[in-house]
């Protein structure tokens, strides 16, 4: 019914900021990282995923979306040759997340397979300064009166309030800090895929769920304002369009509508390339669209890499 | 009617039976008549060889590699499907005879190609005896090409921190088997539950951390579950039944392989021994391939290395194969076939690597009539999650069809080790009995690169 992000914001008591936070933007603009040379590799990688990876003429989205993601992660991981601290990361596929919280006397729960999760040994430092966090107290959450905020959510009798990503990993796991969540919309049929707005809402809910579970693990179950905010990033894609998100959990006091709010920075609808033509399109003997990748945007790849490097560089 | 026939021949301007264009100018001093060649359409051996020659010329004259591959695999006929991962008894002997491969136990000594040919012969004699992969490391200081640091002492490659890599390996193992809460494995899908993800994690983290030392890895491309296919002819047989009964046909084979993981690189790995080396004998088997058992099927003849010809990463570096549940060690032990356990690893290594290297060679334009001018080298690791076996393959010849193999002295060579466990058991968040030798051999494999890099 709604733009899903607005609803998700109310449910997670979050204030939205457009664009990526300055810390991440700083990594994108930093020339010392050598992101220019990687542009050529990124172009090859996109061509591989979209054009060359199959014995048929063109790969389907179920094939090329995960392959593109794996290739991009491979390039990012190869940076650990230059920055050895990057090897303190581990990818976990198919992990289940569960988190419960109360919002104005409504009990909400996030559960499910949250795609691919990247964990790291060290947490990401908080992205917003203390002043910005305090400034969110003045921000008023948008309500949807007369529509109840829980519209379109599934009402379920929950008998066990499952609460931690410790459900996903046992104690003593060395890579204990969730770093980035990746969501791949790889269904072939368009109606099976999430639309960009819904995808962003899903990313926000799961990032919030992970951050909340981690905060409760670190600081206990009492609702309070966090001294050390927990930062979790999230990237969602359908193989061409990328959504980037950085979520900072400032408070676990979610029952009331006042007080410090959580912050989320969203950079939405970034195309990595315009079109990928497997076979040249020929009209009346003239090649109108040559084969290959056209309209490659290196900035999108740089943001992907910057979100990967964030927290270590 | 001889007079009538003679009158017809003598009549000027009428050519009923010859092939030349009437009125074509004769070359001065040259032959007066066109060359007498066999017919193209007759049902005779000469016509068949002429058709074969025309086909070979067409393929030689193809403009692009894609066109060559298309013409090479154009004709579809029933062919034997060769499965690299097979339960067939003594499959590695059969596969060696199909692919003209010599199996040399142990790993090739590092930097053997850098020595002069006399030294290389000595080094390959060493490779002929059984050698532990761990014993490679002490042999490494003698090889001039492997100077990571001068005076490398015993054990590990010194500039690589083995402790760091060991902890990365243990972390990957523990995450997949212990820390991450997963549901119970599906029936007969144990390999997808733990060893599969562990192998993926292990290779990706090791390749990333070693990319600083090996610039080839930094430019590599990692494929998850790629497809590798190769189609070839070897030997001859008589068609048994059908409308083509009685004709002599080449025996066709096709390998369709799905490695768990593979690394492709833009530059070729260096040769291990020179192109014309002879390190052993190829087994000759008198039976038909269907006795293995192998079965015939007719479908598309594919040649594929994992990505299309346009990809710049067109050479192979290392493949990683995961053995399925059907070929578990416990099954063989239960059926009292302990000696076949190693056969499984060997046949997988030989068949997969032959298909991969041969497809790489075809991508460069070589085929059975145009044999390779430089050897193609690739490596593979075959594992079931705990036991690892290492293989290195050098493709010296693609000429395996009945006409070309008669005068072909070259043989392909495969070096392989027995399977060794990486660890003993994982208990309570600890890995017990970690075996450093296997890790060191894996690191050697990943660090392999051409001399100039």
- Asked whether the predicted pLDDT for residue A164 surpasses 50, the reply is no
How many A/B residue pairs have CB atoms within 8 Å?
97
Smallest CA–CA separation between A53 and chain B, in Å?
A: 5
Which of B181, B213, B229 lies at the smallest CB-CB distance from A170? B181
> Which of A301, A311, A312, A310 shows the shortest CA–CA distance to A41?
A301
Q: How far apart are CA B259 and CA B380, in angstroms?
A: 10
Is some CB atom of chain B closer than 8 A to the CB atom of A124? no
Tell me which chain A residue has its CA closest to the CA of residue B226: A53
Is residue B17 exposed (0-12), middle (13-18) or buried (19+ Cβ within 10 Å)?
exposed
Instruction: Please give the pLDDT value at position B228.
Output: 95
Give the model confidence (pLDDT) of B268-324 as tens digits: 999 999 999 899 999 999 999 999 999 999 999 999 999 999 999 999 999 999 999
Percent of chain A exceeding pLDDT 90 equals: 16
Asked if B308 and A95 come within 8 Å (Cβ–Cβ), the reply is: no
pLDDT at B128: 34
The label of the residue with tokens 């890995």 reads: B431
**Amino acid A313: pLDDT:** 74
Q: Does A48 touch chain B (CB under 8 A)?
A: yes
The model's pTM: 0.85
Residue A259, pLDDT > 90, answer no
Structural domain boundaries of chain A? 3-309
Residue ranges making up the domain that contains B202: 84-107+161-447
Count of structural domains, chain B: 1
Helix (H) or strand (E) holding B357: helix B340-363
Domain-embedded: residue B133:
no
Nearest to B429 among A54, A87, A172 (CB): A172
Mean confidence (pLDDT) of chain A: 82
pLDDT band at B116 (very low <50, low <70, confident <90, very high): very low
- What pLDDT shows up at residue B453? 73
ipTM summary value = 0.86
Residue B434 lies inside a defined structural domain of this protein: yes
Of A139 and B154, the structure prediction assigns the larger pLDDT to A139
Which residues, including other chains, have CB under 8 Å from residue A174's CB and lie 6 or more apart? Answer: A121, B171
Indicate the residue of B175, B213, B223 with minimum beta-carbon distance to A92. B175
Provide the β-strand partners of residue B296: B80
Give pLDDT tens digits for A165-193. Answer: 445 677 778 888 888 989 888 888 888 88
SS3 B167: helix
- Which is higher by pLDDT, A107 or A215? A215
Mean pLDDT for chain B overall: 84
Q: Which tens digits make up the pLDDT trace of A63-93?
A: 999 999 999 999 988 888 788 888 888 888 8
Q: Tell me: the pLDDT tens digits for A229-250? A: 889 999 999 989 999 999 999 8
Residues of A whose CB is below 8 A from B175: 90, 92, 173, 175
pLDDT score recorded for residue B156: 43
> With an 8 Å Cβ cutoff, are A173 and B312 in contact?
no
* Cβ separation A80–B182 shorter than 8 A: no
On whether residue B143 sits in a domain, the answer given is no
With CA atoms as reference, the chain B residue closest to A118 would be B201
Q: Tell me the per-residue pLDDT of B136-185, one tens digit each, with 9 for 90 and over.
A: 333 333 333 333 333 333 334 557 788 989 988 998 888 888 777 777 88
Q: Do A52 and B311 touch (CB under 8 A)?
A: yes
Closest CA to B233 of B152, B301, B297, B166: B301
Give residue for tokens 């690299």. B84
pLDDT tops 90 at residue B332: yes
Query: Does A131 score more than 70 pLDDT?
Result: yes
How would residue B440 be classed by pLDDT, with cut points 50, 70 and 90?
very high
Count of Cβ atoms closer than 10 Å to residue A143 Cβ: 12
Q: Which of A68-72, B181-185, B186-190, B351-355 has the lowest mean pLDDT?
A: B181-185
Interchain CB distance below 8 Å, B311 and A81: no
Q: What is the pLDDT of residue A177?
A: 86
Instruction: Check residue A150 and give its pLDDT.
Output: 65
**What are the helix (H) ranges across B129-248?**
136-139, 162-174, 190-193, 195-210, 215-218
CA B138, CA B155: separation in Å to the nearest integer?
A: 6
Q: Per mean pLDDT, which range of A41-50, A124-133, B146-155, B180-189 is the poorest?
A: B146-155
Closest chain B residue by Cα to residue A291: B310
Instruction: Give just the sign of the alpha carbon dihedral B90, B93, B99, B102.
Output: positive
Q: Model confidence over B357-380: pLDDT tens digits?
A: 999 999 999 999 999 999 999 999
Which residue has 């947490």 as its token pair? A123
HEC string for B114-135: CCCHHHHHHHHHHHHCCCCHHH
Q: Domain for residue B130, yes or no?
A: no
């Amino acid at each position: 019914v709604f733009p899903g992000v607005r609803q998700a914001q109310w449910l997670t008591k979050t204030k939205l900021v457009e664009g990526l936070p300055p810390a991440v933007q700083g990594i994108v603009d930093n020339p010392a990282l050598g992101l220019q040379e990687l542009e050529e590799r990124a172009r090859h990688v996109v061509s591989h995923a979209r054009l060359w990876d199959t014995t048929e003429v063109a790969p389907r989205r179920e094939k090329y979306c995960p392959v593109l993601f794996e290739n991009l992660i491979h390039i990012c991981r190869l940076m650990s040759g230059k920055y050895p601290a990057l090897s303190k990361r581990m990818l976990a596929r198919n992990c289940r997340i569960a988190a419960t919280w109360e919002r104005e006397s409504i009990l909400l729960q996030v559960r499910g397979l949250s795609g691919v999760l990247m964990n790291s040994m060290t947490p990401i430092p908080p992205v917003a300064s203390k002043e910005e966090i305090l400034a969110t107290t003045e921000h008023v959450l948008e309500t949807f009166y007369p529509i109840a905020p829980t519209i379109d959510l599934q009402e379920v009798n929950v008998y066990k309030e499952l609460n931690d990503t410790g459900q996903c990993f046992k104690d003593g796991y060395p890579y204990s800090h969730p770093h980035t969540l990746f969501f791949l919309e790889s269904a072939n049929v368009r109606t099976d895929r999430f639309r960009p707005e819904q995808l962003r809402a899903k990313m926000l809910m799961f990032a919030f769920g992970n951050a909340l579970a981690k905060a409760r693990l670190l600081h206990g179950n009492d609702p309070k304002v966090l001294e050390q905010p927990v930062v979790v990033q999230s990237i969602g894609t359908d193989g061409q369009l990328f959504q980037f998100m950085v979520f900072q959990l400032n408070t676990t006091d979610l029952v009331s509508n006042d007080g410090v709010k959580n912050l989320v920075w969203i950079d939405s609808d970034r195309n990595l390339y315009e079109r990928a033509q497997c076979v040249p399109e020929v009209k009346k003997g003239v090649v109108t669209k040559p084969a290959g990748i056209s309209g490659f945007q290196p900035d999108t790849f740089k943001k992907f890499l910057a979100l990967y490097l964030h927290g270590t560089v | 009617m001889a007079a009538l026939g003679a009158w017809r021949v003598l009549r000027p301007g009428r050519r009923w039976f010859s092939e030349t264009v009437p009125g074509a100018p004769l070359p001065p001093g040259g032959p007066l008549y066109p060359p007498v060649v066999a017919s193209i359409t007759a049902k005779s051996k000469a016509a068949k060889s002429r058709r074969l020659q025309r086909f070979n010329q067409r393929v030689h004259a193809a403009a692009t590699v894609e066109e060559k591959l298309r013409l090479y695999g154009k004709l579809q006929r029933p062919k034997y499907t060769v499965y690299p991962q097979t339960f067939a008894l003594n499959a590695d002997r059969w596969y060696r005879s199909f692919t003209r491969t010599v199996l040399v136990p142990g790993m090739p000594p590092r930097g053997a190609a850098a020595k002069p040919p006399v030294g290389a012969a000595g080094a390959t004699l060493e490779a002929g005896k059984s050698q532990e992969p761990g014993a490679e490391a002490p042999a490494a200081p003698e090889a001039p090409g492997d100077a990571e640091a001068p005076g490398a002492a015993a054990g590990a490659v010194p500039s690589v921190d083995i402790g760091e890599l060991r902890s990365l390996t243990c972390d990957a193992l523990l995450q997949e088997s212990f820390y991450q809460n997963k549901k119970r494995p599906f029936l007969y899908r144990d390999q997808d539950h733990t060893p599969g993800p562990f192998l993926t994690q292990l290779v990706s983290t090791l390749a990333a951390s070693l990319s600083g030392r090996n610039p080839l890895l930094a430019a590599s491309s990692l494929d998850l579950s790629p497809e590798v296919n190769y189609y070839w002819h070897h030997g001859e047989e008589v068609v048994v039944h059908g409308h083509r009964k009685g004709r002599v046909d080449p025996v066709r084979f096709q390998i369709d392989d799905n490695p768990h993981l593979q690394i492709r690189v833009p530059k070729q790995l260096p040769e291990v021994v020179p192109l014309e080396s002879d390190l052993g004998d190829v087994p000759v088997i008198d039976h038909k391939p269907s006795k293995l058992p192998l079965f015939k099927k007719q479908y598309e003849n594919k040649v594929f290395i994992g990505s299309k010809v346009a990809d710049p990463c067109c050479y192979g570096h290392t493949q990683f194969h995961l053995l399925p549940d059907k070929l578990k060690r416990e099954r063989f032990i239960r059926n009292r076939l302990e000696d076949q356990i190693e056969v499984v690893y060997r046949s997988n290594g030989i068949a997969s690597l032959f298909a991969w290297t041969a497809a790489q060679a075809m991508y460069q334009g070589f085929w059975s009539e145009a044999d390779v001018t430089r050897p193609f080298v690739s490596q593979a690791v075959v594992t079931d999650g705990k036991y690892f076996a290492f293989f290195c393959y050098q493709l010296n010849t693609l000429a395996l069809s009945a006409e070309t193999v008669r005068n072909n002295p070259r043989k392909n060579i495969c070096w392989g080790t027995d399977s060794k466990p990486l660890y003993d058991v994982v208990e309570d968040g600890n890995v017990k009995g970690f075996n450093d030798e296997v890790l060191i051999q894996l690191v050697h494999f990943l660090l392999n690169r051409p001399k100039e890099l």
